[in-house]
């Protein structure tokens, strides 16, 4: 979903930063996986051409930049993009900014010229700039440890050149030199100085990467709906063949195409919200801490929607199933599951009689319609929630028609239609709605 790049001069600590960032992303967040890569690609013919060009120094900086660009464009669309579309995060040690600095600024090929060569490459969602004094960097480059792991001795191995490279990063990433389009779209963290202890460096990297992910930046290279449809398909496939747990009202996620039952979508949302609000009103203020008031809030919608596709899950498995778009923090997930189990009849929580497995949570059968409806209308859930707040005395069944007529939500409406085509309309024998008018009829239960 995100392309995160680690940049800086040779010996600055990019390798360590790549490892730390990858560990934090894997441990703390709900990406389907964390993939680590680097440029130029030493294992790929295009990457080897770029490496050999720099080693032999028989080409101009502009020619070198062309080889790096060829490797990067192929890497972007052949390897990185398919992973982003699957909800993965890719951490790359070096990317476009290296070419802009090494060939564009230090090599004097020009940042605009180098950017044009790379215009078909992906744009990093986040660039993490690692900085280090050139003399410290040179000691690292010349150390036996670093030398034994790479062929750094063949690249830019003079203190003077490292100073030029450091100044190049400073000029480009501080804004002194204007970042060329489209690479000015991504976020930047840094400079993060790596001249103290490794522990200090780790703490700062961890703090900064967590802040970026928590801010929920819109991905630059993929549409979140593409990611979501991929993940929903995967959950639907994984749910096939699961057995029913008798006696607690839970059935496998694909066991019935009639998941709406006798209700219409608008009625499912209205009745569930009324029930939920009644529970909240009956609790003390302390019991309601951190529990959202709306079932269409991000955290409630994420958890109920995901549980409608997952036969049962412990907290770790649930957070994996949430994925990066529906992501909820571990602590908040635990609080909501506890609330739904202890204060409502929506979620059943059970623990295996054998072993020490973590408790597993299941959405009861009668609330599967709510979860599936939420997933279906996810692109419109914020608009529907706002409509409910603005029109407390108007029948909810009219909401979809008014939103369609407003003309403000055409993209979200098309996304909702795609989701219903994937999930099914919820009424066995019915076809998925076609077009905005079909969505209105589906919402009202008059299809």
| 403-447: pLDDT as tens digits | 999 999 999 999 999 999 999 999 988 999 999 999 999 999 975
Residue 153 sits in the same domain as residue 58: yes
- pLDDT at residue number 287: 63
Mean pLDDT of 179-193: 95
Say what the pTM is.
0.87
Residue 57 sits in the same domain as residue 131: yes
Q: Is 69 a domain residue? A: yes
Of residues 239 and 426, more confidence is placed in: 426
| From 150-159, 241-250, 282-291, 328-337, the region with the lowest mean pLDDT | 241-250
Residue 393 sits in the same domain as residue 271: yes
Residue 193 sits in the same domain as residue 292: no
Spatial distance between the Cα atoms of 366 and 345, rounded to a whole number of angstroms? 10
Spatial distance between the Cα atoms of 17 and 155, rounded to a whole number of angstroms? 20
Domain of residue 33, residue span = 3-214
- For residue range 195-211, list pLDDT tens digits in order: 889 999 999 999 999 99
Residue 64 sits in the same domain as residue 202: yes
Spatial distance between the Cα atoms of 439 and 223, rounded to a whole number of angstroms? 22
| From 110-114, 123-127, 151-155, 253-257, the region with the lowest mean pLDDT | 151-155
Spatial distance between the Cα atoms of 329 and 252, rounded to a whole number of angstroms? 26
C-alpha triplet 304, 307, 308: angle, nearest 5°: 90
Percent of the chain with pLDDT over 90: 78
Task: Name the strand (E) or helix (H) holding 413.
Answer: helix 410-423
Average pLDDT, the chain: 90
Q: Is 225 a domain residue? A: no
Alpha helices in 60-143 (DSSP H): 61-75, 81-85, 96-99, 111-117, 134-142
Q: Is 219 a domain residue? A: no
- pLDDT at residue number 15: 94
Number of domains the chain is built from: 2
298 close to 328: Cβ distance less than 8 angstroms: yes
Is pLDDT at 368 greater than 80 in this prediction? yes
Residue 204 sits in the same domain as residue 250: no
Is pLDDT at 148 greater than 50 in this prediction? no
Which residue, of 193, 214, 235, is where some domain finishes?
Answer: 214
- Give the 3-state secondary structure of residue 378: helix
- pLDDT at residue number 256: 64
Residue 145 sits in the same domain as residue 25: yes
Residue 259 sits in the same domain as residue 194: no
Mean pLDDT of 377-389: 96
Q: Is 228 a domain residue? A: no
Cα torsion 35, 132, 175, 184 to 10°: value is: -10
Is pLDDT at 248 greater than 50 in this prediction? no
What are residue 34's DSSP bridge partners? 89
Residue 250 sits in the same domain as residue 298: yes
Q: Is 236 a domain residue? A: no
Q: Is 226 a domain residue? A: no
Percent of the chain with pLDDT over 70: 91
Mean pLDDT of 332-341: 94
- pLDDT at residue number 254: 44
Q: Is 238 a domain residue? A: no
Q: What is the DSSP letter of 245?
A: B
Spatial distance between the Cα atoms of 445 and 311, rounded to a whole number of angstroms? 27
Which residue, of 194, 214, 234, is where some domain finishes?
Answer: 214
Residue 306 sits in the same domain as residue 371: yes
- Give the 3-state secondary structure of residue 86: coil
Q: Which residues does 146 contact at the CB level (< 8 Å), separation at least 6?
A: 11, 140, 152
Spatial distance between the Cα atoms of 240 and 255, rounded to a whole number of angstroms? 8
Q: Is 108 a domain residue? A: yes
Residue 210 sits in the same domain as residue 249: no
Residue 56 sits in the same domain as residue 111: yes
> Residue 122 sits in a domain of what CATH number?
3.40.50.300
Which residue, of 163, 191, 214, is where some domain finishes?
Answer: 214
Of residues 246 and 229, more confidence is placed in: 229
| Placement of tokens 């993965």 in the chain | 88
């Amino acid at each position: 979903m995100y392309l995160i790049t680690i940049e800086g001069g040779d010996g600055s600590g990019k390798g360590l930063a790549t490892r730390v960032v990858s560990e934090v992303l894997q441990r703390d967040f709900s990406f389907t996986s964390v993939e680590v890569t680097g440029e130029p690609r030493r294992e790929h013919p295009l990457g080897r051409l770029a490496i050999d060009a720099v080693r032999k120094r028989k080409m101009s900086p502009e020619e070198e930049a062309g080889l790096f660009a060829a490797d990067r464009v192929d890497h972007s669309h052949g390897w990185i993009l398919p992973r982003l579309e699957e909800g993965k995060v890719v951490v790359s040690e070096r990317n476009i900014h290296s070419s802009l600095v090494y060939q564009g600024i230090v090599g004097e090929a020009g940042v605009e010229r180098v950017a044009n060569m790379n215009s078909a490459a992906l744009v990093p969602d986040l660039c993490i700039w690692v900085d280090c004094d050139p003399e410290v960097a040179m000691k690292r480059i010349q150390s036996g440890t670093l030398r034994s792991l790479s062929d750094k001795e063949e690249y830019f191995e003079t203190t003077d050149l490292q100073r030029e490279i450091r100044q190049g990063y400073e000029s480009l990433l501080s804004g002194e030199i204007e970042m060329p389009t489209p690479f000015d779209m991504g976020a930047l963290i840094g400079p993060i100085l790596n001249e103290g202890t490794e522990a200090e460096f780790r703490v700062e990297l961890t703090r900064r990467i967590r802040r970026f992910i928590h801010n929920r930046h819109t991905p630059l290279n993929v549409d979140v709906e593409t990611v979501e449809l991929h993940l929903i398909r995967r959950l639907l496939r994984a749910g096939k063949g699961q057995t029913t747990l008798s006696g607690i009202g839970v059935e496998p996620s694909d066991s019935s195409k009639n998941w709406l039952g006798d209700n219409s979508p608008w009625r499912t949302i209205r009745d569930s919200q009324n029930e939920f609000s009644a529970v909240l009103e009956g609790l003390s203020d302390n019991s309601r801490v951190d529990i959202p008031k709306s079932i269409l809030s991000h955290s409630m919608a994420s958890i109920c929607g995901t549980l409608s596709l997952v036969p049962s899950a412990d907290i770790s498995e649930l957070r994996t199933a949430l994925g990066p778009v529906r992501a909820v923090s571990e602590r908040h997930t635990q609080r909501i599951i506890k609330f739904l189990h202890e204060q409502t009849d929506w979620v059943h929580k059970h623990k295996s009689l054998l072993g020490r497995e973590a408790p597993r949570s299941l959405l009861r059968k009668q609330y599967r319609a709510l979860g599936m409806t939420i997933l279906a209308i996810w692109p419109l859930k914020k608009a529907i929630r706002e409509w409910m707040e603005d029109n407390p005395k108007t029948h909810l069944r009219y909401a979809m028609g008014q939103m369609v007529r407003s003309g403000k939500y055409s993209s979200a409406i098309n996304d909702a239609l795609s989701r219903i085509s994937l999930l099914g309309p919820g009424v066995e024998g019915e076809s998925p709605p076609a077009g905005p008018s079909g969505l209105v009829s589906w919402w009202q239960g008059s299809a």
